[in-house]
Structure 1
Amino acid sequence: MIGTSSKLPNGIILGDRYRIIKQIGQGGFGRTYLAEDTHRYDEKCVLKEFAPLVENDADLQKAEKLFEREAGILYKLKHERIPEFKALLRTKVNGKKLLFLVQEYIEGKTYYDLLQEQGKFTESEVIELITELLPVLEYIHQQNLIHRDISPDNLIYRRADKKPALIDFGCVKLAANAVSRSQGFLVTLVGKKGYAPEEQMRSGSAFPCSDLYALAATAVTLLTGETPDKLYDAHQGKWHWQERAKVSPHLAKVLHKMLAYRPSDRYQNASEVLKILNKHQPSLVNSLISRIQTLVVAPKNRVSSNNNSSISHIEKQPTLQFTRRITNNLSRVSTKAIAISQVVSRQVNKLPYARRIRPWQWVLITIAAAIIPGIITFSTIQNIRSAISLSGIRNSVSKTIYVIRKTINLPVSITSRERNQQQDIYQRVQALNIDSGIFFGQVDREFYRQYPEMENVALTNSTEHLKYRRRWYQIAEDLLRQREREL
């Protein structure tokens, strides 16, 4: 039977080009090797052997043609989170023909390895992983492809940029399976048991929502530290993982839908999941800005007390009435501005699982304190100017504007340059339409990796923390540049 092969010795050169460093894996259709490309300054690459179980050379040629077709599909994929397909290698070793798929080598650790080393992942870490991978899956599915084999083993935390990459597409296994099945041999399942959904494991059917299922199964494995066989009741077709991981009700609901037994009961595409996740996690500053804008429309109106919030809701009033009474209500506007700034600080303590002020939360607090007066002043000026045209009243308006600026001037102990840098970072995050909490959490993790001694220290506006603040800004700007280059 053709298809079996011996392990290649380390140091052997294939095709006068690829030097084998070591074997790094073995599957149903051959071995996987780490190698060096001697034609590209010893650049590392991965060689995946293709050795399906067939009876004769004619069947092998048929398998190779099918493999080449599938490899051609991989070649068309151009995404930074997917290893680049480089070449098909046909060679001979000791008279035996061998066929390899040559791919980019992604240096880093698999998420399975990370789980073994550091233990269970936090909710924020899992949300970050999911939101990073959903756009990758959306791209793949738009190419009419299904990955079919998502699991912690096939996700790599890339060392170069600290981002997840998706490896080991199942379409190569599909090519081998098609030929093996036609010859009456047992086929190797495409997908890992426990991670792949029932429709894929039983009949080979796969849809975009099948990949979403596998991604959710990976997520609950990382959250609980347990493999799917300990979390899934095959008899009832139900998952039982929530008692082993403390997560927010919203994330639990999203994962529950992604893990639905019937494909029609799941989210049908990656963008749908991403939209749901982002919708539920609005930026803290965004929500405050929206409340401020409501506040400054008409400060004349009656203020209603609310026991659950220190900010009152004010109904709209005609612009003319607002103009006539603006001076009498300056103190009220000022009081509200200060109250909002205080609420920003208190909101941090209400964040789920927050035990201290994180650097990103400190930045949002400072930004909010800086922009609140500007928003109120700007909105007030625009309402006044749009409603008044008499020159005499314009003089009063100028005095009013001066009083507003004087009255609601909230002290911020950082320089205007640093405050502008904070606002620029926040505005760029908003322009990229990414969730600020998730992004700033990513910045925090990199910051703490570089400065572990700051893990339990609350970052402040003091000169003592100036160098740390500058480094935090630099990390945020570096990550933003990476995101912007991806567009």
Structure 2
Amino acid sequence: MNCFSQKRTSSQESISQQTQLGQMCGSKQLFRDRYQILQILGRGGFGITFLAKNAVLPGNPLCVIKQLCPKVTNPQSWQRACARFEKEARTLGQLGSHSQIPMLLDYFQANGEFFLIQEYVPGLTLAREVRQTGPKSETSVKQFLQELLPVLQYLHKHHVIHRDIKPQNLLRCEYDGRVVLIDFGAVKEQLVDQAANTNFIGTRGFAPPEQFSLRPVYASDIYALGVTCIYMLTGKSPLEFDYDPSTGDICWRKEIHVSDSFAQILGKMVKITLNDRFQTADEVMKALGNESYLPTLANCLTTQKLNNKSITQHENSNKTPDVYVPPIARTASAIRKWRVKLNETRLHN
């Protein structure tokens, strides 16, 4: 089942008229003698995305064709754009071995435009899922984080910052329910020369301040992921929330009913001040792991202060004490009891 609407908007009609692939949409004509263009999936600031099928391979598997439209004005800019496209395509090829990242099938240049061919993953985006079924529970959002944080860990290990994590770019596969991070048109290597990159990449509300300053770091993806969690819990866009005038942080706490421990984790994920935020996916995963053990630890810990009277009562009774007695104290008590019994035996003899 195709999760995308078959109705064509006026914008899509415009794309159909203005682009080669748009004009081929719905026809039997093949792009590069291989791809039959089925429909337009969407348009962003950097290109247009089409759903297609490979008419040559057995079974005619579906794929996604992303047409990137570089805005260049001179040969030097074009050469830089070509080099960057080549670099990003190779990065996508390396990342596509992960089951939660669409596989890159092909890439090429044609008629002054760049094309990426990627695996098609059927399903609903988290944005559409929330619109259809309503906000998620704390348990569901924790499960989502446990599924997606390893993907971020994988990206960052390969020196890649996604820069545009949001509910619209997260897809739940209809076959097996896994969460897939889609739309890697915004992926940039962390070592890209920032002086050559003067375009902001990201989405307002989901991108932190350092990203607007064109200096994204791994923690920028952590911020976007935290805001995505808040959206899942409330169904509200981050732009609908008030902001703390002194810190710039989102005022989201009163809108969500979650445990204090999970609220602290979310709060640290969406801190505006970079130094106050989780820096890596590992840190968030560790915090979630510790948070899951808090109820068990609370049941094991005593809140009563141990005193000599408690130990004395324990020594004079064979019953289990009401308060926690350390192992050393229990051993000393047992030795004292043994000595008392030994002296009593000697007196009777």
Q: TM range, normalised to the smaller chain? A: 0.7 to 0.9
Would you say 1:37 and 2:54 are equivalent positions?
yes
Q: Which amino acid aligns with 1:138?
A: Q
Partner of 2:146: 131
Distance 1:157 1:259 in 2: 23
Q: Is the 8 A contact 1:5 1:30 kept in 2?
A: no
Which one of 239, 253, 269 corresponds to residue 229 of structure 1?
Answer: 239
Measure the CA separation in 1 of the matches of 2:188 and 2:294: 43
Residue 217 (structure 1) aligns with? 227
Secondary structure of the 2:117 match is strand
The code of the aligned residue for 2:162 comes to H
Compared CA separation, residues 178 and 153, structure 1 to 2 (3 A): farther
User: Paired residue for 1:17?
Assistant: 34
Give 1:38 shift. Answer: 2.3
> Take 2:324 and 2:194, find their aligned partners in 1: how far apart are those partners?
68
Aligned 8 A contact 2:206 2:224 in 1: yes
- In structure 2, what is the Cα distance between the partners aligned to 1:56 and 1:223? 47
- TM-score w.r.t. length of structure 1: 0.55
Instruction: Give the structure 1 partner of residue 45 of structure 2.
Output: 28
Q: d(CA) in 2 for partners of 1:99 and 1:90?
A: 5
Distance 1:149 1:264 in 2: 21
> How much has 1:60 moved relative to structure 2?
3.1
User: In structure 2, how many angstroms separate the alpha carbons of the residues matched to 1:17 and 1:179?
Assistant: 37
Question: Counterparts of 2:52 and 2:244 in 1: how far apart (Å)?
Answer: 41
| More helix, by proportion | 1
Task: Answer yes or no: is 1:49 the counterpart of 2:67.
Answer: yes
Amino acid at match of 1:68: E
Deviation at 1:181, TM superposition (A): 6.7
Secondary structure (helix, strand or coil) at the match of 2:184 reads: coil
Equivalent position of 2:314 in the other structure: none
Deviation per residue, 1:359-404 (Å, 9 max, x gap): xxxxxxxxxxxxxxxxxxxxxxxxxxxxxxxxxxxxxxxxxxxxxx
Gap regions ≥5 residues in structure 1: 292-299, 306-311, 326-487
Q: Specify which of 162, 175, 190 is matched with residue 177 of structure 2.
A: 162
Q: Which residue of 1 aligns with 2:214?
A: 204
- Say whether the 8 Å CA contact 1:170–1:191 is kept in structure 2: no
Following superposition, the deviation at residue 285 of structure 1 comes to 8.6
Identity rate of aligned residues, in percent? 33
One-letter amino acid matched to 1:64: C
Cα displacement string for residues 185-209 of structure 1 (whole angstroms, at most 9, x for unaligned residues): xx653111000101102x1111111
Residues 88, 188 of structure 2: 8 Å contact kept: no
Following superposition, the deviation at residue 82 of structure 1 comes to: 0.8
CA distance in 2, matches of 1:170, 1:206: 16
Q: Superposition RMSD on alpha carbons, in Å?
A: 3.5
Where do residues 186-335 of structure 1 align in structure 2 (5 Å cutoff)?
188-201=199-212, 203-233=213-243, 235-236=245-246, 237-282=248-293, 302-305=319-322, 313=324, 316=327, 317=330
| Equivalent residue runs for 1:388-467 within 5 Å | none
Give the distance between the partners of 1:286 and 1:261, measured in 2 at CA.
32
- Whether 2:104 is the aligned partner of 1:85: answer yes
For 1:108 and 1:196, locate their aligned partners in 2 and report how far apart those are by CA, in whole Å: 25
Unaligned runs of 5+ in 2: 1-17, 303-316, 339-349
8 A Cα contact 2:194 2:214, kept in partner: no
**How far apart, in 1, do the equivalents of 2:287 and 2:46 lie?**
39
1:116 aligns to 2:131 (yes or no): yes
Residues of 1 paired with 2:264 and 2:104: CA distance?
37
- Which amino acid in structure 2 is aligned with residue 99 of structure 1? F
Instruction: Give the Cα–Cα distance (whole angstroms) in 2 for the partners of residues 198 and 58 of structure 1.
Output: 31
